[in-house]
Amino acid sequence: MDAKKAAGEKAAEYISDGMRIGLGTGSTVYWTIVRLGELVKEGLRIEAVPTSVQTEKLAREAGIPLLPLARLQAPLDLTVDGADEVSPKDELIKGGGGALLREKLIASFSDRFIVVVDHSKCVSELGRFPLPVEVVPFGWEMTSKQLRQMGCEPVLRMRDGAPFVTDNGNYVIDCRFGSIPNPGELTVELNKLPGVVENGLFVNMADLIVVGHPNGTVRTKSGT
């Protein structure tokens, strides 16, 4: 079985009747959404908040009832989402799919945050994957220069010959740091830059990491 499918489907086991959940974005949580769609058809009652337009579409197709954020009075029970890198301390890089801002918001509104990855995402130190930073389009060139001064190689994310635009109307600058020895400090420093909306470092957020392996086995480990 595919490692992403194994991890994604396993996460569905943590979701029970009556829960209000957050649904992440990407090809691993895709399998959670597909599995939840099956369970909903079998009678599971849940409501979900999607972290992207892409996930909203998938959830609708799967028949999962959606919950408008404006109606949310209390934290979500659980959010399931993927990641691009996971450190030994369960710090994450996210945003490969460009949904980092909504993903961080929804995860922070959740009592529990479960991360689903295939084994290749587990690294000894964060930073080989370029860190996605969501920035406002106005003056992005200056923001990029300031990001460079923080020790990375910044590249504006492009799609079809034009800047990639997030669901929030912003740009993404992918910042190649090479290594990020102190993600906690870096996330604070990045978010101090005026043009930065949010960055893809998720520190002290994951409660459980579900890691899929190519033979279809899954290992879980408690997060921070």
* Options 56, 81, 90, 91; binder of ligand 5RP; rule CB under 6 A: 81
107/152 with CB nearer ligand 5RP: 107
Stretch that binds ligand 5RP, among 12-20, 79-87, 186-194, 207-215 (CB under 6 A): 79-87
Stretch that binds ligand 5RP, among 54-62, 98-106, 150-158, 207-215 (CB under 6 A): 98-106
H or E segment and range at residue 9:
helix 3-12
Which residue in the list 85, 103, 134, 198 is annotated as catalytic?
A: 103
Distance (Å, rounded) from C-alpha 158 to C-alpha 156? 6
Cβ atoms within 10 Å of 113's Cβ, excluding its own: 26
Per-residue binding string, ligand 5RP, 159-198, x by CB under 6 A, is ----------------------------------------
Interface with ligand 5RP, residue 84, by CB under 6 A: yes
Residue 4 in contact with residue 28, Cβ under 8 Å?
yes
Q: Least distance to ligand 5RP from the beta carbon of 55, Å?
A: 9
Q: Least distance to ligand 5RP from the beta carbon of 102, Å?
A: 9
Residue 187 in contact with residue 150, Cβ under 8 Å?
no
* Options 22, 37, 50, 98; binder of ligand 5RP; rule CB under 6 A: 98
Residue 15 in contact with residue 36, Cβ under 8 Å?
yes
Give the β-pairing of 171-176 and 113-118: unpaired
What backbone phi and psi angles, to 5 degrees, belong to 140?
-60, -30
Q: Least distance to ligand 5RP from the beta carbon of 107, Å?
A: 10
Q: Check if 103 is active-site.
A: yes
82 is in an annotated binding site: yes
Q: Give me the residue label for tokens 């920035």.
A: 135
Residue 39 in contact with residue 65, Cβ under 8 Å?
no
